[in-house]
Amino acid sequence: MTNREITSEIINILKSNNKDNRLSRRFVLSLLRDSAEFLIAQKWGERSILMETSLYSFIPCFEFEKIDVKDCPSIEFRLCKTLMKSKNPLPKLIFSRLGASIKDIVSVDGEFLFTYVDEAQYRRNKKRKYKLKNEVYIYLGADNHLYIPDHEILSLDLTILTTDSDGVDDCSSCSDKDKCLSAWDKEFIVPSKLIEAVKDMTLQKLGITKSIQSDQNLNNLEGA
């Protein structure tokens, strides 16, 4: 189901229940995404959707640039010899007890897997007596940029879970933007088993309850 289709479905239900139809499509889509994020975060935390590969977005050629270590928001990284920062922030991620919804971070040739850590884990790893020689850490800052300490990496590939499908193309320096679909024609990101729950949650935010929907359906049947 595309962003256009699910948004139109919600707007049509609002109209059929005599609700204010002056709501913008963008506002309705925003509510739908908020509902999807909430439910996906629950399932992500339960590890029940980790293997649903169709939900993930692939970002090739995610570029980095060297910055002054003093400009890093993390005090921990200000002692680094060199520090790389992603040129673009990531699209809005899903967060749960498992952390951010970053599935894989790999080199552009696919031969090397980077280690994603939070600040606390990075601090613990730095104190380890025995360290993996070839381990390269990547940290997500509060500004939603990725940081790479002590290694000069200019580009890598990412696989993430985000409901912001139209923001994914802006992150890549090698995506073919001329062939990109309209944001409305892109797939609405949510597991198929959660789609109805997302609709119900969005309608409740807009003042439509299941009982009102049921009454409307019965009225339609009686008039048929």
- What burial letters (b/e) apply to 157-184, b meaning 16+ CB within 10 Å? bbbbbbbbbebbbebbeebeeeeeeebe
Per-residue pLDDT of 5-26, as tens digits, reads 999 999 999 888 876 667 889 9
Helices (H), 46-140: 119-126
Quick one: pLDDT band at residue 4, thresholds 50, 70, 90? Answer: very high
pLDDT(213) > 60? no
Structure tokens at 212: 């009102």
Per-residue pLDDT of 77-136, as tens digits, reads 666 788 899 999 999 999 888 888 898 999 998 889 998 887 777 777 777 766 666 788
Cα 170 to Cα 59: distance, rounded to the nearest angstrom: 9
Per-residue pLDDT of 155-169, as tens digits, reads 999 999 998 887 787
Instruction: Quote the percentage of the chain above a pLDDT of 70.
Output: 82
The model carries a pTM of 0.78
> Structural domain boundaries of the chain?
3-52+191-219, 53-183
Return the pLDDT at 200.
95
DSSP 8-state secondary structure symbol assigned to residue 181: P
Mean pLDDT of 24-37: 94
